[in-house]
Amino acid sequence: MTELPFKLCLITNRHLIKNKPLIEICQSVLEGGVDCILLREPDLNPKTLCYIGKQFRMLASRYNAKLIVKDRVDVAQVIEADGVHLSADSIPPEDVRKIWNGLVGYSAHSIEEIKALENSVDYFFLSPIFHTKSKPMSKPLGVDYLRNAINISQKVIYPLGGITPDKVKEIKRAGALGLVVMSAFYNTSDPKGLAKEFLKELEG
C-alpha cells in the first residue's frame, strides 16, 4: 500500500453550518488533530474560492495539516494547496497530472471505479459506507464492501459517509487506516472534542 497521505480529513460544507464561521470550525477540528482539510465549496466563484483558500492555506500550515481543493486545479495552484480531489465529472486524473505535481485523490462509489483509476491517483474516498443524511437516496455500500475494496487496491482507501466514532472500530477491522468526515463535525457543539474522539478510536 502507498504511504498514508493523512489520517483524518474534514470536508468543508458551509451550508451545513448553523451559527459559526466555517474557518472557526476548521480551526477547532485542526486543534483536535484533524490533519487534512478538503476545501469543497462548488457554488463559489474562483475569485472567492481563492480568497477563502488562502486563509485555509495559512490555517492548515499552522497545524502542519494538508489542504486539498475539490476540482479546481487552478485554485489549488494559486493558493499552493497540497492536493486536488476529483470525481466522475472532473477533469480526468491523467490530464490533471500534466499540470499538477501534488496529491491527486478521487471520490469513488464502486470497486470498478477504483480498479479503473488505480494507477492514476494517490488515494480514494469510497462512499457512502453507512447511511448519510447528506445523500439520503444513496444505498450504503457497507463495511464488507469497504473491506473488499481495500483488499484489491494498492492505494489508500478512505471510507466516507455516515461515520461516527462508534463505527470506527468496525471500519478499522475492514482495513481502513484513515477516514473522512463531513456532517458529524457540523452537527456537534464541540468539533475539537469530536476530532479527538475520532482519533482516539482510530489509533486505539
Please, which pLDDT band fits residue 1 given cuts at 50, 70 and 90? low
Residue 61 in marked binding region: no
Give the three cell numbers for residue 181: 468526515
* Beta bridge partner(s), residue 125: 107, 158
pLDDT in tens, 117-169: 999 999 999 999 998 877 767 799 999 999 999 999 999 999 999 999 999 99
For residue 121, what are the contacts with CB-CB under 8 A and spacing of at least 6?
86, 93, 104, 105, 106, 155
Residue 83 in marked binding region: no
Does any domain span residue 89?
A: yes
Whole-model pTM: value is: 0.96
Does any domain span residue 3?
A: no
Residue 133 in marked binding region: yes
Residue 89 has pLDDT above 70, yes or no: yes
Residue 139 in marked binding region: no
CA distance 21 to 23: 6
Does any domain span residue 2?
A: no
Does any domain span residue 147?
A: yes
Sheet hosting strand 8-11, strand order edge to edge: 156-159, 123-126, 103-108, 83-86, 66-70, 36-39, 8-11, 179-181
Residue 132 in marked binding region: yes
Give the three cell numbers for residue 191: 468539533
Number of domains in the chain: 1
Mean pLDDT of the chain: 96
Domain of residue 122, residue span: 8-203
Residue 135 in marked binding region: yes
Does any domain span residue 100?
A: yes
Please, which pLDDT band fits residue 19 given cuts at 50, 70 and 90? confident
Residue 107 in marked binding region: yes
Does any domain span residue 162?
A: yes
pLDDT in tens, 67-81: 999 999 999 999 999
**Domain with 128 in it: what CATH number?**
3.20.20.70
Burial state string for 150-175 with b = 16 or more CB within 10 A and e = fewer than 16: beebebbbbbbbbbebebbebbbebb
Does any domain span residue 1?
A: no
Average pLDDT over residues 44-64: 98
